[in-house]
Amino acid sequence: MTARTTTGDAGATTVPAATLALGDDALVLAQRLGEWAGGAPVLEEEVALANIALDLLGQARVLLSLVGDEDELAYLREERAFRNCQLVEQPNGDFAHTIARQLYFSTYQHLLYRRLAAGDSPLAGLAAKAVKEVAYHQDHAEHWTLRLGDGTEESHRRMQAACDALWRYTGELFQPLDGLDLDTEAMERAWLDSVTAVLGRATLTVPPGPRTGAWSAGAGRQGLHTESFGRMLAEMQHLHRSHPGASW
């Protein structure tokens, strides 16, 4: 992947190649969360899930616009050209799966944006704004992890199953990101500490399995996705693709 160069008055700024990956993460998770609309377990969660989806979509639009035209990038790339991690493309499943996916991802995104906000990359400004949103997302996911983990027997069983099922997709989050100077090993340790603590408080056990699938480490970042992703894109893109060149 090559970094796009944008020229402004102040001269050329190089956008890190990882910008596309971070934009795709936010876009794809927003799309998944959008599938919940009208189907959430309580009305307050209709509001909360839509709110999180909107924040993520907002982040995606800023990030993709740094790379090129947001709609071209969202609607006219095929599956192999998407750089999102596999975690965010995982189907919603039941509410526990959605919460486990959100816990893993928001914890990661919070660590990432805090670091980016403190740095001097072209993403620092965006990260400083997004970090407040992401802190809310993480808080929301943590509270639900506690309620489901330490709720009823059934909710405990479902939450544990969800945490276990998604665990293998979390290793990918700490692959180095092209063009960003991040201590991903330190991030990974902080992530493990944070998630381990929340799972413990929720009376859940840290999943025993490996944090990567047989060949999935970094796969999403290379455009290698899971099977449900293509179907998600087909739905997302079909209308835009049916009217080439139209504006909306």
Enumerate binding residues for another protein (CB under 8 A): 27, 31, 34-35, 37-47, 50-51, 53-54, 57-58, 60-61, 64, 70-71, 74-75, 94-95, 140, 143, 146-148, 150-152, 154-155, 158, 235-236, 238-240, 243, 245-248
CB of 24 to another protein, least distance (A): 12
CA distances from 119 to 185, 231, 242 (A): 17, 37, 42
CB closer to another protein out of 50 and 135: 50
Q: Which two tokens stand for residue 63?
A: 């990030």
CB of 141 to another protein, least distance (A): 11
CB closer to another protein out of 3 and 75: 75
CB closer to another protein out of 140 and 168: 140
Angle of the 95-118 helix axis to the 18-34 helix axis, nearest 10: 150
CB closer to another protein out of 131 and 148: 148
Alpha helices in 76-183 (DSSP H): 86-89, 95-118, 124-149, 153-167
d(CA 200, CA 167): 15
Please name the amino acid found at residue 82: F
Query: Alpha-carbon torsion 155, 193, 189, 58, what sign?
Result: positive
Q: Which two tokens stand for residue 216?
A: 């999935």
CA distances from 108 to 23, 61, 79, 191 (A): 14, 20, 23, 6
Query: Alpha-carbon torsion 153, 93, 32, 131, what sign?
Result: positive
CB of 183 to another protein, least distance (A): 32
CB of 10 to another protein, least distance (A): 27
CB closer to another protein out of 70 and 178: 70
CB of 78 to another protein, least distance (A): 17
Q: Determine contact, residues 59/119, Cβ cutoff 8 Å.
A: no
Q: Is 5 helix (H, G, I), strand (E, B) or coil?
A: strand
CB closer to another protein out of 173 and 199: 199
CB closer to another protein out of 31 and 121: 31
Q: Taking the CA atoms of the chain, what radius of gyration do you get in angstroms?
A: 18
CB of 178 to another protein, least distance (A): 23
Distance from the Cα of residue 190 to its chain's centroid:
17
CB of 235 to another protein, least distance (A): 5
